[in-house]
Amino acid sequence: MRRLSALLLAATALLYAAPGTARAADNGEWSVEPASFGTGRPYFYLSTGPGTTLTDRVTVTNKTARPLTFRLYAADAYNTARDGGFAVRTHDEPRRGVGAWAKPARDRVTVPARSSVTVPYTLNVPEAAEPGDHPGAIVALDERVAPGGPGAVAVGVRRAVAARVYLRVNGPTMPALTVEDLSVEHTRPLIPGTGTSRAVISYTLHNRGNVTLSPEVVLRAEGLFGRTLLARDLKKIPSELLPRQKVRLTEPWAGAPQLEWGRIELTAGARDTRETAGVSYIALPWPFAAVLLVIVATGTGLWIRARRRRPHPS
- Could you report the per-residue pLDDT of 118-142, keeping only the tens digit for each? 999 999 999 999 999 999 999 999 9
What was the pLDDT predicted at 304?
Answer: 66
What average pLDDT does range 245-259 have in this prediction?
Answer: 90
Largest Cα–Cα separation, the chain: 110
- Backbone phi and psi for residue 276, each to the nearest 5 degrees, phi listed first: -120, 135
Span 219-243, mean pLDDT?
93
Q: How many of the other CB atoms lie within 10 Å of CB of 165?
A: 29
DSSP 82: T
Q: How confident is the model at residue 105, as a pLDDT?
A: 97
Q: Please give the pLDDT value at position 16.
A: 28
- Nearby residues of 40 by Cβ (< 8 Å), 6 or more positions away: none
Check residue 94 and give its pLDDT. 93
pLDDT of 261: 83
Query: Percentage of residues in the chain with pLDDT exceeding 70?
Result: 75
Selected residue with higher pLDDT from 6 and 83: 83
From CA 312, how far away is CA 124, in angstroms rounded?
Answer: 89
Full set of structural domains in the chain with CATH: 3-169 (2.60.40.2310), 177-283 (2.60.40.10)
Asked if the model's pLDDT at residue 189 lies above 80, the reply is: no
Q: What is the pLDDT of residue 314?
A: 53
- Three-state SS for 35? coil
CA-CA distance, 182 to 195, in Å (whole number)? 27
pLDDT top residue among 58 and 189: 58
Is the pLDDT at 210 greater than 50? The verdict is: yes
Reported pTM: 0.79
Q: Which of 255, 245, 259, 264 is nearest to 85 (CA)?
A: 245
Q: Which of 89-93, 148-152, 300-304, 307-311 has the highest mean pLDDT?
A: 89-93
For residues 22-44, give the mean pLDDT. 83
Q: 194 versus 86: which is more confidently predicted?
A: 86
**Average pLDDT, stretch 52-63?**
96
Query: Per-residue pLDDT averaged across 289-293, rounded?
Result: 47
Single-letter amino acid code for the residue at 169:
V
Would the pLDDT of 103 be above 90? Answer: yes
**Stretch 181-190: mean pLDDT:** 79
Most confident stretch, 5-9, 32-36, 126-130, 284-288: 126-130
Question: Can you give the pLDDT at residue 296?
Answer: 53
Mean pLDDT over all residues of the chain?
Answer: 83
Of the two residues 284 and 33, the one the predictor is more confident about is 33
Q: What percent of the chain shows pLDDT beyond 90?
A: 62
Task: Give the pLDDT mean for 188-209.
Answer: 79
228 vs 38: which has the higher pLDDT: 228
Q: Are 60 and 116 in contact (CB under 8 A)?
A: yes
